[in-house]
Structure 1
Amino acid sequence: MSKMKKILVRQVEMSDAEQLLNVIPTIDRETEFMIRSRDEFSLSLDQEQKFIASKMNNPKDLFLIALFGDKIVGSLVFSGSTLKKYSHFGEFGMGILKDYWGMGIGTMLLEELIVWAKQNEIHKINLKVVESNERAIRLYEKFQFVYEGTIENGVLINDTYSRLLIMGRTI
């Protein structure tokens, strides 16, 4: 049986908090493209549980995890707004353990996000991606995300500033 058949995507549960405390720092160490630098993630179990609760309790937020068996191998967090003028859109970020790259997990997470967005009156999804993250950009383009702008010197990677691309998709 292939790994792909064993991947399950679902919304986060409070019981996932402890495992996420181990998975997220690993993802951060495996690539320079994450929002945090290596070893910068330092939430306590209580803080992670509060973060999960905040996502579960906000109807405009979504926290998805990808599981291989019982192991969390990726996640996607979408943050929306409950303010009326901004309640139609939000921004997401995601990460996947390197051993599971190329298995379609990013595709599965994005498919679930888009279905959820349609059901929850989200009409616009945005993201920021490092310009040199070609794998991610190809994935986003596959889902009809389009280039909307740049943030010059938006991220510092290995003592060098890099451009962030702003991409978006209307639902």
Structure 2
Amino acid sequence: MSTVVHIREITPDDAEAFLTLCKRLDQETRFMLLEPDERTLTPDEQRQALENLLATGRSTIFVAEAGQSGELVGYLALEGGTYRRERQRATLVIGILQAFTGQGIGSRLFQVMESWARQRSFHRLELTVMVHNQRALALYLRQGFMVEGLRRQALVVDGQSVDEYYMAKLLQ
């Protein structure tokens, strides 16, 4: 049986819980960008970062909050382009705790994010994914993203070079 999960936009008051979520993701998966010891923000710095992000009106984070506990179990961040020539474009990052994968949370995060992006006249959504991350790749393809390119040896994970797909979705 899956846990009831509520999707909502993040607030600065979520800073500590969001930081905890990100640190857990850094620990439990090799598919996120940061290694376990690289995330050094304090809760106060995270709060300020969230305030700055939300103040733009062009970037946000949607969080997945588990039922009764209120624990943050996943997120999808959208960072909008800032210059006139790229204002229609946004870059995405998603992370979901392993115990909560396979429950449709990723699809729900994408649906809420896409609605938000359309309301703000975004036309292009972009992301990258490690080529061997088959579960994430399948989610992105189901959401209408297409592989646009291959970034060869884009990352080094556990001492090994890793390729990434560059993916995008055009909103009509």
Please give the range of the TM-score, normalised by the shorter of the 2 chains.
over 0.9
Name the CA distance, whole Å, in 1 between partners of 2:166 and 2:159: 22
| Cα shift readout 1:77-97 (whole Å, capped 9, x = no counterpart) | 111123111000011101011
Which position in structure 2 is the counterpart of 1:139?
139
Name the CA distance, whole Å, in 2 between partners of 1:38 and 1:91: 23
Residue 39 of structure 1 deviates from its aligned partner by: 2.4
Which position in structure 1 is the counterpart of 2:59?
61
Which of 26, 29, 42 is 2:27 aligned to?
29
Which position in structure 2 is the counterpart of 1:13?
11
Are the equivalent residues in 1 in contact too, given 2:12–2:48 (CA < 8 A)?
no
Which position in structure 2 is the counterpart of 1:51?
49
Are the equivalent residues in 1 in contact too, given 2:148–2:165 (CA < 8 A)?
yes
Name the CA distance, whole Å, in 1 between partners of 2:82 and 2:20: 30
Letter in 1 for 2:106: G
Which position in structure 2 is the counterpart of 1:164?
164
Q: Is the partner of 2:20 in helix, strand or coil? A: helix
Name the CA distance, whole Å, in 2 between partners of 1:85 and 1:150: 24
Q: Is the partner of 2:126 in helix, strand or coil? A: strand
Q: Is the partner of 1:73 in helix, strand or coil? A: strand
Name the CA distance, whole Å, in 1 between partners of 2:7 and 2:64: 4
Q: Number of residues paired by the alignment?
A: 169
Are the equivalent residues in 1 in contact too, given 2:2–2:103 (CA < 8 A)?
no
Letter in 2 for 1:128: T
Name the CA distance, whole Å, in 1 between partners of 2:35 and 2:2: 32
TM-score (normalised: structure 2): 0.95
| Cα shift readout 1:56-103 (whole Å, capped 9, x = no counterpart) | 111211111100021100111111123111000011101011111111
RMSD, aligned CA: 1.1
Name the CA distance, whole Å, in 2 between partners of 1:54 and 1:135: 32
Are the equivalent residues in 1 in contact too, given 2:7–2:108 (CA < 8 A)?
yes
Letter in 2 for 1:138: A
Identity %: 27
Residue 162 of structure 1 deviates from its aligned partner by: 0.7
Name the CA distance, whole Å, in 2 between partners of 1:8 and 1:91: 23
Name the CA distance, whole Å, in 1 between partners of 2:78 and 2:35: 20
Unaligned runs of 5+ in 2: none
Residue 2 of structure 1 deviates from its aligned partner by: 3.9
Q: Is the partner of 2:44 in helix, strand or coil? A: helix
